[in-house]
A and B are shown apart, each in its own frame.
Chain A
Amino acid sequence: NAGVTQTPKFQVLKTGQSMTLQCAQDMNHEYMSWYRQDPGMGLRLIHYSVGAGITDQGEVPNGYNVSRSTTEDFPLRLLSAAPSQTSVYFCASSYTRTGGPYNEQFFGPGTRLTVL
């Protein structure tokens, strides 16, 4: 199993550009989510999905879109990049939507995004 993979690892954008951060998992997990990590702010939930075709907003969804057409993939789209979106982005997945240690969240290695 590759686990949770994210591409690209690094990206530099200019203000106003759009791009898609890719996330894939090969563990047949139902639940997938996107977080951004900023210094001193910890992890903030952007969007999440409880299964193919179902997405919902997290704490900081503005400026981002997601879709979940398959169980494996959960791309995050930046519609018009802004410097405030400079951050490290993590994708995570877990087996089901329920909590518990048997539902450990697996994190990808992250995408480091800089918006100039």
Chain B
Amino acid sequence: GEDVEQSLFLSVREGDSSVINCTYTDSSSTYLYWYKQEPGAGLQLLTYIFSNMDMKQDQRLTVLLNKKDKHLSLRIADTQTGDSAIYFCAESGGGSYIPTFGRGTSLIVHP
């Protein structure tokens, strides 16, 4: 079945850029998402990208998609302590509308 893979942890210094990576297996994925989960809360949609796009920028966030390699990344510029959270990659499309989530990457921002 479809699979979405992410590394479990990322530690960065405040002010640096963070890059969270994700790979997926479903070549028919149409939409790819990044969700953010803050401690003790549910997930919230952070940003998304259509599969026919290579890049999307939204303020401090940059999403890059390499469809050939099925690789998605989320870059957070000028990372702040408030960015500390778990970031989930997800994909949907093709024959299934049910999104498939990765295991989540815990981003730790230290001063």
Q: Interface of A with B (CB < 8 Å)?
A: 4, 31, 33, 35, 40-43, 45, 48, 58, 90, 92, 97-101, 103-105, 107-110
Contacts and interface: CB of A to CB of B under 8 A. Distances in A.
A95 B48 CA distance: 17
Contacts, number: 55
Interface residues of B, number: 23
Interface string B60-80: 000000000000000000000
B24 interface: no
Interface of B: 8, 30-31, 33, 35, 40-45, 48, 50, 88, 92-93, 97-99, 101-104
Contacts of A41: 103
A33 B98 contact: yes
B71 to A, nearest CB: 18
Contact of A42 (B48, B50, B102): B102
Contact of A108 (B30, B40, B42, B45): B42
A77 B41 CA distance: 22
25 contacts: A4-B42, A35-B101, A42-B103, A42-B104, A43-B43, A43-B88, A48-B98, A90-B42, A90-B43, A99-B31, A99-B92, A99-B99, A100-B30, A100-B31, A101-B33, A101-B45, A101-B48, A103-B97, A105-B35, A105-B43, A105-B99, A107-B42, A107-B44, A108-B42, A110-B42
